[in-house]
Amino acid sequence: MKILVATEKPFAKEATDGIRQIVENSGNELSLLEKYTDVNDFYKAVADAHALIVRSDKVTAEVIKAAQKLQIVVRAGAGYDNIDTAACTARNIVAMNTPGQNSNAVAELAIGLMIYMYRNTFTPGTGHELKGKKLGIHACGNIGRLVASIAKGFGMEVYGYDPFISADYLKANGIIPLSSAQELYSTCHFVSLHIPATEETKKSIGYELLSKMPKNGCLINTAREAVINEPELVKAMEERPDLKYGSDMMPSNAVEMKEKFGNRFFATPKKMGAETAEANINAGLAAANQIVKFFQTGDTTFKVN
């Protein structure tokens, strides 16, 4: 079987080497398309592939149409909003993610952003400490729970809201469960966002929630920009000169945000959360192993469609 790795933003070399080893040792063939700038190159490369590994690359209906032999696509990462899962399902193509494999990298970045924002993005002036502050984890999945455990080490009080996880489970993970997003935002100095981007969550974080935050409220977003209602974020930050926003995604209105809010706003130039060698290796190797297992035994453990 031909397994294509199509990465506009390539994996670290150790990850690509590891993927090659897994693919070739299992008697399959690896094809690499890295740093492509023209989507037509992607269409061409995928034409004879039986399996596809991507990172943030968009697997659109057009890609699926071009991939007439495709049986499985794996997003090396947690969020799979870059994959048209309906188009995959329509063609009986299995879509998977690799949950948990890059969570630690993202959790560490979230904590780093918290410090950076509370120290005025390292510009002169008096900042604040994390110790004793209340942290709200908005969605307590793999990344949220790791952020919670690191934050405990800083002496933060950790709260969480996740309607799909039981209160007992959150408590067992050192998180004080709250029963609504409203309660989370009105309680916590920091809110760290970890909700997936879905039809329900897109643009769901806006004025109503942000304007409820206590003094020196700071929103940290390592989830997806799509979940933010950008005009409402601007409105809340205009009204409340104490609010801050630190993001791992460049908002579409980044220039306006920088102009209006200076060092109360920061966004990484490119999504950096999973950009560690460790996370690349974990997610890349997991993707390769999942594909090999699928071809060998039909295993679909991490299927999302």
Interacting residues with ligand NAD (CB under 6 A): 77-79, 99, 102-103, 106, 139-144, 162-165, 194-197, 200-201, 222-224, 248, 271, 273-274
Q: Output the smallest distance, CB 145 to ligand NAD, in A.
A: 8
Of the two residues 1 and 150, which places its CB atom closer to ligand NAD in the complex?
150
CB of 199 to ligand NAD, least distance (A): 10
Q: Which is nearer to ligand NAD, 224 or 264 (CB)?
A: 224
Of 172 and 298, the one with the shorter C-beta distance to ligand NAD is 172
φ and ψ at 173, to 5 degrees?
Answer: -100, 15
User: How far apart (Å, rounded) are the C-alpha atoms in residues 64 and 67?
Assistant: 5
Q: Which is nearer to ligand NAD, 143 or 237 (CB)?
A: 143
Nearer CB in complex with ligand NAD: 103/282? 103
What does the block give as tokens for 260? 């209006």
Q: Which residue is nearest to ligand NAD (CB)?
A: 141
Quickly tell me which residue has 């190797």 as its tokens: 285
With 0-12 CB in 10 A as exposed, 13-18 as middle and 19+ as buried, what is 221?
Answer: buried
| d(C-alpha 217, C-alpha 237), whole Å | 10
Identify which of residues 110 and 291 has a Cβ nearer to ligand NAD in the complex.
110
Q: How far is the CB of 158 from ligand NAD (least distance, A)?
A: 15
The enclosing H or E element of 192 equals: strand 190-193
What are φ and ψ of residue 147, in 5° steps? -60, -45
CB of 109 to ligand NAD, least distance (A): 7
Quote the least distance from Cβ 6 to ligand NAD, whole Å.
18
Contacts of 74 (CB under 8 A, 6+ apart): 51, 52, 53, 54, 95, 96, 97, 98, 287, 290, 291, 302
The distance of closest approach from Cβ of residue 65 to ligand NAD in the complex, given in angstroms and rounded to an integer, is: 26
| Distance separating alpha carbons of residues 226 and 224, to the nearest angstrom | 5
Q: How far is the CB of 238 from ligand NAD (least distance, A)?
A: 26
Residue of 112, 140, 142 whose CA lies nearest to 220: 112
Closer by beta carbon to ligand NAD, 66 or else 114: 114
| Residues 34-69: b if buried by 16+ CB within 10 A, e if exposed | eebeeeeebeebbeebbbbbbbbbebbeebbebbee
